[in-house]
Amino acid sequence: MTSVTKVVIPVAGLGTRFLPATKAVPKEMLPVVDKPAIQYVVEEAVAAGLTDVLMVTGRGKGAIEDHFDHVVELQHTLERKGELDRLGRVTASTDLARIHFVRQGTPLGLGHAVLAGADHVGDHPFAVQLGDDLIDARDPLLPTMIAAQETLGGSVIALMEVDPGQIHLYGCAGVEPSDPSAGLGEDIVRVTDMVEKPDADQALSNLAMIGRYVLSPAVFDVLRQTPPGRDGEIQLTDALQTLASMPTEQGGGVHGVIFRGRRYDTGDRLDYLKAVVQLGSDREDLGPDFVGWLREFVASR
């Protein structure tokens, strides 16, 4: 039984990269094959033992709440018709976890969204997942991050090597090897510095921060003191930079887990298309027909 059981999922962002699809539909509700992106994220949380989910929502995000609720009329109809397979697909999202919602108010940045979870989280380490960032279920990341946090304390972030030409799209981390006596392997590093979306010549490394965190509750006090940073938003990266320089006894210290598995940023149009193709190809029910068609389609281009 892990000590980390709560996860905060901020879904209050405006999704401007995906307009006009996200004008009236939250980007987290865009379907990846036949499930909205946010359902994959919650399934990942539950698989990692995180059964208490808090979503930080905003205006126009009601469809997310509805998706995790019962739809009595639809369920009765499917039951009456004996369509139990479809019924199972409808109720799968409802029975996943205890899901709570809080409103962010004004979307003042990711750090501000995480701070909206302070009362619900209380005084224990907790996870954060970004609602448009998918980690492939076959490459679990959160369990490694939770284990690292339990061994090392402080906060743990997820890092991924990216092409140096792409680093300006991400938070970027400067790292050094972690304490070898902890025996955690070379993919767990100590994070010394972080900067949000740096120009290529300001980058600390090619290690990009991706949308998974296990945070010390000390982050809340730091966020309360963090002024707006890049793009005028209260940046989680700036709060983590402060935590990295604080002593462990005060909840400080930041480590990184370097992730080498499959990840899809469904808030980005090109990555979204890749996610649909990859996950669709791997599906037992759709994959064989889809891949056959895809081969012919590519050959004809």
Q: Which residues are near ligand UTP by CB under 6 A?
A: 10-18, 56, 104, 107-110, 112-113, 130-132, 267
Q: What are phi and psi of 193, to 5 degrees?
A: -145, 150
In the complex, the smallest distance separating the C-beta of residue 112 from ligand UTP, rounded to whole angstroms, is 6
Query: Minimum Å distance from CB 117 to ligand UTP?
Result: 10
Q: Note whether 44 and 37 are within 8 A (CB).
A: no
Residue closer to ligand UTP by CB (options 45, 78) is 45
Closest to ligand UTP by CB, 120 vs 283, is: 120
Supply the minimum distance, in Å, between the C-beta of residue 228 and ligand UTP. Answer: 11
Half-sphere exposure (Cβ direction) of 56: Cα atoms closer than 13 Å: 28
Smallest distance from ligand UTP to CB 211, Å: 7
| Residue 45 CB, nearest approach to ligand UTP (Å) | 14
Q: Which residues, at least 6 apart from 161, have a Cβ–Cβ distance to it below 8 Å?
A: 206, 207, 208, 258, 260
Q: Which is nearer to ligand UTP, 184 or 196 (CB)?
A: 196
Query: Nearer to ligand UTP by C-beta: 97 or 147?
Result: 97
Find the shortest distance in angstroms from Cβ 255 to ligand UTP: 21
Q: What is the CA radius of gyration of the chain?
A: 20
Residue with Cβ nearer ligand UTP (30 or 254): 30
Token representation of residue 98:
């205890």
When the beta carbons of 108 and 147 are compared against ligand UTP, the nearer one is 108
Instruction: Give residue number: closest CB to ligand UTP.
Output: 13
Distance CA 251, CA 246 (A): 7
- Please identify, using beta-carbon distances, which residue of 11 and 215 lies nearer to ligand UTP: 11
Beta-carbon contacts of 177 under 8 Å, excluding residues fewer than 6 positions away, are 186, 189, 190
Which residues lie closer than 8 Å to 132 by C-beta, 6 or more apart? 13, 15, 27, 28, 37, 211, 265, 266, 267
Backbone angles phi, psi at 81, to 5 degrees: -80, -5
**E strand or H helix at 78:** helix 72-80
- Which residue is it, tokens 């092409």? 163
CB of 77 to ligand UTP, least distance (A): 33
